[in-house]
Structure 1
Amino acid sequence: MRHLNHDQPEPGNNRLPALPNSYFVQPGELTIEPASSSPGIDYWHLLRKYLILLSLFAVAGAAAGFFSVAFLNPVYQSRALLEVQAPTVTLFKNSGVSGNDEVSQVNIQTQIQLLRSSSFLRRVMERLQLETVPPPPVQNDIFSRLRRRLTTNTQDPMALMTSGLNVALATFDARPINGTRIIEITCDSTSPDIAANFVNTLANEYIEQNSQGRAQNLQQTSQWLSGQLEETRNKLQEAQQHLQEFVQSSGNLFVLQDNTLDNSKLRQLQGELSAIQADRIAKQAKYELVAKTSPEALPGVLEDINVRGYQTRIADLRREAAVLKTTLTPDNPKVKKIEVQINELQITLNKEVTAEIQRIKNDYDVALRREKLLSADYTKQASQVSAEATKASQYSGLKREVETLQQTYSAMLLQANESNINSSVPLGMGTIRLVDPSTPPAKPYKPRPALNIAFGTMAGLFLSVGIAFLWERMDKSVRTPGHSRTLLNVPELGVIPSIEPRGSRPAWRLLLGRESRNAGEMVGSEVSLDTRVGFWDSAPASQLLADSFRVTLASLMLGNGTRRPPRVILVTSPGAGEGKTTIVSNLGTALAETGRSVLILDGDFRRPRLHKVFDLADTWGLTNILEEGSAAPERFGLLTTVPGLFVMPNGPKSGSISKMLYGSEIRRFFQMVREKYDIVLIDAPPILEVADGRLLAEFADGVLLVLRSGVTDRVAALQAYQQLSEDQTPLLGTVLNDFKATRRSRQGYYNYAGR
């Protein structure tokens, strides 16, 4: 890493020695981490920032809502309630077909569809056109008067009436009220009288139509019931005659019972046959197992007690023979005796096995024969029961037909009686009743002035918030404290707040209290100095700025508490107009307060401004020293009104800047100012615009990068950082300048400092 190592101070010299490399943050040793997370959002600051925009859009939205009310024609809404009553005539009531909730809801939906039918609405419109008279003009409020002034087209009363009826027809609607038998009918119109008249006329027309339809239905029902009664009576007589003839043809011997003797016998045979089949299957399985087993393995399969006994005795004798053969020869009498016993028992065992197999076969044959006999008996009995079931089915069908016709005939007699009663009910007592007739509304339901104005205001507010959001999203600058630390991963040494203008004073002031001659030359936060004393004045705003520079100085000088501060500091920024001259001037003042001798060097060869800030002559300065090379150290700095603070102007402009920066005289100059002053601050040009700052950084212990809140672009800050990293220039940290602090934070400082 490129870094100058200077000699240690001589004994007795109170100037600070050079710093070790470990003090600095080296750009090449850090990793740039993109600002993945945005800094905290100050909503109060954003509200103050966009307050005028919000107010203008809110007023514009409210005005748009107001004029929308004036331009839109008022619309009145009328409503009426119809009750769908239970019908007095209910066919086949006892069958359970009607009277439940589902049918009731279907009935209501049917009534609604009839109300919406085109033929019915056409009749209503024809009736209204004959009965309705042109409505009188209504409304005399401010919106009506304004509407009449803004609209020049006038219509005759008949055209207004026709228009009102057409609007009512187009907006008519009928819908059920959940959980009730009520139908709500509504319509809109430009006239309150037409709206109410349309709804009432439609309801009355539908009630009359329903009553007429009910009378016709009753008449048709009576005629139909009379014919059906006669036909059902004839069918009933024929069915009874057929049933009587069938009983007589059966000899009156058929008795319809649930359990006949033949049925009981058939079920008994079925049970016995099932048991015999199960027994036969078990014996067949045992017989087939014995037949398929080899003779040697038969004793192990059979379950006879004698066979098992013989097997056990033979096994015991064979064990004894095996024991004797271990000590005796096969010709020994004892061995021969045991073998004779084994042979005799084996012969007896074979006889028992043969007898057991024959017994199993006999059992299987007997079971098979019984199964065949029971199957034949069951088949015979089933044929007999089937013949009787056919007769029983015929008898049941004839009897069921007679019973059904009797029930139908009784139900029709009951319905005929109810029909006769209903036909005597007056036509006015129908199934539809007008519960709540409509009255002309006093006020239009739309447009609503309060709602339209409120909606317009809210729309304006939302639009302004969207514009502010997009504007903030498009803003790629460094804005808040901590943002540079996240963006560049370097220390943020201080935050310099901006101060609101007081009284008639401009927003931006020079360090000494005079207005800037060019807004682009001196930006950021400035604080006025008392030229007689050399310190900041006692105004709260000035004290806030002064303390912010003191905090920056403490961060710069103390580091982590164990390292020595730098002596030559180059102050620069990514671009112009970001307040580096302001920072270096005030930082030099803060350093002078500590009792150090401080030199502020104007290293901007193209746009020097330090001499204007401190009201010094620029007739002789750094350019003269670098070109002539014969200046005495006593001339390295002009004394300012601030004790201990010296300024080296840049001097007259020269056309050989590169020659001066690459020459040997500049190195000797910095060695001499290191010996004379405790701290040297270099006001360098923007690092991204010219190469002067990069060349001057070679003679500094570190670089202080100034970022202006809301002005410095993030990309520019990253480029400046990358440039320093490539040059291997130590970066001490950043200073956020011109930060718009919230009123609460400033007030907190004022309350604390104003003790």
Structure 2
Amino acid sequence: MENHSSQSPSYNQNNNSVPPFLQPQPFPIYESEENDWSFSQLLSVVRRRALVIAGVTITLTTVVFVSLILNREPPVYEGNFRLLVEPVNDDTKVVDIVKDPNVGKSGLDYESQIQVLKSPELMGKIVKQLQAKYPDITYDTLIKNITISRFAETKIIEVRYRSQDPNQIEFVLNLISKNYQNYSEEKRQTQLRQGIQFVERQLPFIQNRVDQIQKELQTFRQKYDFVDPGAQSEQVVNQTTSLSEQRQLIDGKIAQVRANLSFLQEKNGKLAVLNDAILYQQLLNQVRQLEVQIATESTRLQDNNPTIETLKEKRASLLPLLKNEEERFLGTKIAEVTTQLQTLEVQSQELAKVEEKIELQRKQWPILARQYTELQRKLQVTTESLNRFLSTRENLQIQISQAELGWQLLEAPSKPKLPISDSSIKRYLIPGLIASIALGIGVALLLEKLDNTYHSVEVLKGKVKLPLLGNIPFEKQVESIQDHIPTRKLSITRILNPILKGVPGLAHQVHSNYSAKFLEALRVLYTNVQFLSSERPIASIIISSAMPGDGKSTIAFHLAQVATGMGQRVLLVDADLRQPKIHTLSGLNNLWGLSNLISANLPTSEVIRQLPSMNQLSVITSGPVPSDPTKLLSSEKMKQLMIDFHNAFDLVIYDSPAILGLADTSLLAPYTDGILLVVKIDKTDSSMIQQTLDHLKFSRMNALGMVSNGQKSNINNY
């Protein structure tokens, strides 16, 4: 079945010319996934995870339904009656007598009254009467099933009772309503009268307490003249300020008088004061005149002349008088100043005493004010307490007059006909179903969040900015063949019949069960690859992927057949020396191949073979798996072989291993026009794609574009 190199194109092994290759293009940027989901994306997730959502919903709904069936309880009935416990209109004149602002409001403490109605003392008698017909009723069960409440903001008390027996409900409510009406006529008036008696006993004590505190307050005011604390406090402050100003003025005068006294005791001061002494000045003038006369006469007379002696005797008689007058006048002035100083000092001392007294009073003022405030507070508290007791007595008297009317039964108990909860299934099944659906959607969203694969070509194009050269749809025939690849051989005639119908001489050679979408996608891929370079056609490419199992070998095999059907001389090389698949896809044996061609001195024609039904397509299988594939692919022999392949064929397609973790593709890429990266929808991990692109960028390998594989959604066709 195998055809060897006799049908292959002419092959010159001695051609050592290095063909030109495409230069690496600027590498695209990988965009990280965003967390914002649109409504359309949410619907896409729901459609994609419909089985998960349906499974979770059905499972949880079944669990809820079974649980409700197993725990279903008998239907519960409820009955009620209503009592008017206060008059609707206050028509009695008793209310008009008591001028209380609270009379218009409800006089009944409903919360306390409800607790009394539910108390063991009142309910005990009712329980004993009920046990005569229903022995299983106890106080605890009765309180558990009964509800007593005020009906909205009205003067009505509503009593509800629940049970599984409608007859029991009617009997219990009738008995309770009768007992409550009897209670309102008997016990309630008794309790109100007891309250009035208690108030009457307390009123004299409280009144005496008010009188005693009033007397204490009166005595305090009389003792300390404590009439108006605010005005008196202000008066004390004003007095203190006035006394302080007076004392400062007197202290200034004392300082001035002391300065005058010191001035009088000095020579200049004495002379200044003596200028105002009339008698002293007259005597001084006489003495000075005598001295002038003596000096005048001394110029012409002798010192022993009687005239001069007479003048000297007069002067001598006047000097003692002048001295005495000086001492007398100065003594008088000093005595006046001293007396003035003493007077001012006495005034200052008196003001200081008054200030000290007022200061002592001011210091005692907070204590007195606190005592006064405490007495007023006690008086206010006792007065308020007295007023409350008086108001309580009046209210109790009003309630007694109202209680004489008794409670009125507005709505009598009746036998309930319909249950309030006949089935727990209707109540909980729909919420359980909604919760199950919500949980199913939540599980689907969680799985979607944990899923790092691409689910559509649109998402792939949006996230990876690499040219999308082809979109290969999901094909059941390919999937079936891949599942049975070890035991089946692929017939080329089942693939290319639609493609080659228009090629003369070839249409009769092929038959295909593949869909037109699948084959047309391969043709579009081949055309896009040829259009990548405007200067010259692509002559050699590597088809690889980020992860194993993305379908790179299948894409390479089918692309080679399409290119051959287009009239190209195509060589398909299985460069995956680790997990080769081309020989199984093509139905050829793998006894010898590329590994033999590199390691041994075999001629190239020995390993190039043609497909049984398409001898225009040349194939080199991988050959036996070597122990060190990297060593073979990096050898000079492999580089020369790739150059020879390029020169001998129109298109050389290399099927290489996955890029991540292996150096095989990196060794082959520099000697080709570039790499086609296969990405499988719903399988390839986005993080692996990012790592692959980072590796290609770091290695400066030329990435021609990418091919999406396995798109299951409908692709528009012409």
Matched, 1:493 2:440: no
Structure 2 stretches of 5 or more lacking a match? 1-17, 212-224, 260-335, 358-384, 504-511
1:19 and 2:44 equivalent? Answer: no
Residues 114 and 492 (structure 1), Cα distance of their counterparts in 2 relative to 1, 3 Å cut: farther
Question: Would the alpha carbon gap of residues 443 and 82 (structure 1) be closer, same or farther in structure 2, given more than 3 Å must change?
Answer: closer
**Partners of 2:27 and 2:390 in 1: how far apart?**
109
Please, which of 113, 116, 120 is the counterpart of residue 115 of structure 2? 113
1:37 is displaced (CA, Å) by 4.8
Cα distance, 1:213 vs. partner? 0.7
Measured against aligned partners, the alpha-carbon deviations of 1:246-283 in whole angstroms (never above 9, x if no partner) come to: xxxxxxxxxxxxxxxx999xxx9999999998776555
Paired letter, 1:630:
P
SS where residue 510 of structure 1 aligns? helix
TM superposition shift of 1:579 = 0.7
Aligned-residue offset at 1:571: 1.4
Normalised by the size of structure 1, how large is the TM-score? 0.57
Deviation of 1:669 (Å)? 1.8
Residues 81 and 625 of structure 1: is their aligned pair in 2 closer, same or farther, counting only changes over 3 Å? same
Match of 1:631 in 2: 604
Give the aligned partner of residue 304 of structure 2: none
Counterpart Cα distance in 1 of 2:163 and 2:429: 23
1:518 and 2:484 are equivalent in the alignment: yes
**Is the contact made by 2:677 and 2:705 (CA closer than 8 Å) also made in structure 1?**
yes
Question: Residues 642 and 362 from structure 1, CA distance in 2 versus in 1: closer, same or farther, beyond 3 angstroms?
Answer: farther
Alignment pair present for 1:440 and 2:416: yes
Name the structure 2 match of 1:189: 163
**Kept after mapping to 2: 8 A contact 1:25/1:732:** no
Q: Counterpart in 2 of 1:671?
A: 643
Q: 1:370 to 1:604 in 2, by over 3 A?
A: closer
1:476 and 1:34 map into 2 onto residues whose CA distance is 11
CA change 1:281–1:647 in 2 (3 A) is same
Q: CA deviation at 1:572?
A: 1.6
1:580 Cα offset (Å): 0.5
Contact 2:19/2:643 (8 A) holds in 1: no
Larger Rg: 2
- Give how far 1:417 is off: 9.2
Match of 2:287 in 1: none
Q: Secondary structure at the match of 1:86?
A: coil
Q: Is the 8 A contact 2:461 2:468 kept in 1?
A: no
- What is the aligned counterpart of 1:207 among 162, 166, 181? 181
**CA–CA separation in structure 1 for the residues paired with 2:538 and 2:254:** 114
Find the aligned partners of 1:664 and 1:222 in 2 and give their Cα distance: 121
Aligned residue among 620, 641, 657 for 1:649 = 620
Q: CA deviation at 1:478?
A: 4.7
- Give distance in 1, aligned partners of 2:603 and 2:608: 11
Name the residue aligned to 2:543: 571
Report what 2:333 is aligned to: none
Residue 573 of structure 2 is aligned with which of 597, 601, 607?
601
User: Could you give the per-residue CA deviations for residues 179-218 of structure 1, whole angstroms, max 9, x where no partner exists?
Assistant: 3334443343222333444344334333322322134346
State the alpha-carbon separation in 2 of the partners of residues 471 and 360 from structure 1.
108
Partner of 2:431: 455
Residues 77 and 189, structure 1, Cα contact 8 Å, conserved in 2? yes
The more displaced of 687-696 and 171-180 is 687-696
Per-residue CA shift, 1:98-146, capped at 9, x if unaligned?
5365864xx11012212332344443332222245xxxxxxxxxxxxxx
- Indicate the residue corresponding to 1:49 in structure 2: 48
Give the Cα separation in 2 of the matches to 1:728 and 1:599.
26
Give the partner amino acid of 1:47.
Answer: V
SS at match of 2:657: coil
Secondary structure at the counterpart of residue 477 of structure 2: coil
Report Cα offsets for 1:660-715 as digits up to 9, x if no partner: 53544322221122223344221113345766545434533433332323323355
**What amino acid sits opposite 1:631 in the alignment?**
T
- Kept in 2: contact 1:76–1:443 (CA 8 A): yes
Show the counterpart of 1:86. 86
Structure 1 residues 273 and 122, CA gap change in structure 2 (3 angstroms): closer
What secondary structure does 1:162 align onto? Answer: coil
Report the CA distance between 1:578 and its aligned residue.
Answer: 1.3
Q: SS of the counterpart of 1:45?
A: helix
CA distance in 2, matches of 1:667, 1:734: 25
SS of 2:532's partner is helix
Q: Give me the whole-angstrom Cα distance separating, in 1, the residues matched to 2:466 and 2:477.
A: 28
| Counterparts of 1:684 and 1:272, CA distance in 2 | 110
Tell me if the contact between 2:468 and 2:706 (Cα under 8 Å) persists in the aligned partners: yes
Distance 2:546 2:234 in 1: 108
User: Is the 8 Å Cα contact of residues 477 and 713 (structure 1) preserved in structure 2?
Assistant: yes
Q: Is residue 85–residue 156 contact of structure 2 (8 Å, CA) maintained in 1?
A: no
Q: 1:198 aligns with which of 155, 164, 172?
A: 172
- Which one is further off, 656-665 or 107-116? 656-665
Amino acid at match of 2:644: M
User: Do residues 170 (structure 1) and 144 (structure 2) align?
Assistant: yes
Distance 1:411 1:657 in 2: 107
**Aligned equivalents of 1:166 and 1:270: distance in 2?**
67
- Aligned-residue Cα RMSD (Å) equals 6.3
CA distance in 1, matches of 2:413, 2:141: 20
Could you report, residue by residue, the CA deviation over 1:554-589 in whole angstroms, capped at 9, with x for unpaired residues? 8x826xx9x988643221224332111233245446
Cα distance in structure 2, aligned partners of 1:497 and 1:167:
74
CA distance in 1, matches of 2:684, 2:660: 12
Query: Quick one: distance in 2 between partners of 1:586 and 1:224?
Result: 108
State the secondary structure of the residue aligned to 1:42: helix
The 5 Å alignment of 1:365-514 reads 425=404, 429-431=405-407, 433-435=409-411, 437-445=413-421, 447-481=423-457, 491=466, 493-494=468-469, 496=471, 498-499=473-474, 508-510=476-478
Equivalent-residue separation in structure 2 for 1:294 and 1:584 (angstroms): 129
Deviation readout 1:209-257 (Å, 9 max, x if unpaired): 23221343466579889x989x99xx99xx9xxxxxxxxxxxxxxxxxx
**What is the percentage of aligned positions where both structures have the same residue?**
18
Residues 608 and 620 of structure 2 are in contact (CA less than 8 Å); yes or no, is this contact kept in structure 1? no
CA distance in 2 between partners of 1:486 and 1:294 (Å) = 107
